[in-house]
Amino acid sequence: MNDSDNIQMPAAGERSIFDLIGAAHALEARVETALERAQLSGAKFALLSALVDAGEPVSLSDLAARLSCVRSNMTQLVDRLEGDGLVRRVQCPGDRRVVKAELTELGRSRQAAGAAEVAKLHADFSASVSAEDRAAFHRLLTAMA
């Protein structure tokens, strides 16, 4: 007998955390599927959205901070987006050591398509969940933050 044999699963009423995790995974899968229709992943959509929100080229370091990821991951993501023609790297006029990411027209268009897909998910959620339940859900998430 080992220690894992003594682990008790929570009773049905005490599974709310696990239910929430399961729901989050299901929702993440729905978001990824929706974004695939726009030929994007969640990470690519997040980066393109950050550039749209900024309204100007953003340094890779600033993007990494905004998206809470390490700079090396940001560099790889920008490499992929640049290869897809969605962003381009530009030099900072004030400091040639700084490289910024800038949206291309295709990147702006693809982000808009992704945003439209996400908006459909929001509309579906709002149509299938009452305002009262959405408010309770918001309170739950706020309490957990």
Spell out the domains of the chain, with CATH numbers in brackets. Answer: 38-115 (1.10.10.10)
Q: Are 22 and 67 in contact (CB under 8 A)?
A: no
In tens digits, the chain (145 residues) has pLDDT values of: 555 566 666 666 677 888 888 988 999 999 999 999 999 999 999 999 999 999 999 999 999 999 999 988 999 999 999 999 999 999 888 787 888 999 999 999 999 999 999 999 999 988 998 999 989 988 988 988 7
What does each C-alpha distance from 55 to 48, 70, 101, 105 come to in angstroms? 11, 22, 11, 13
pLDDT of residue 15: 76
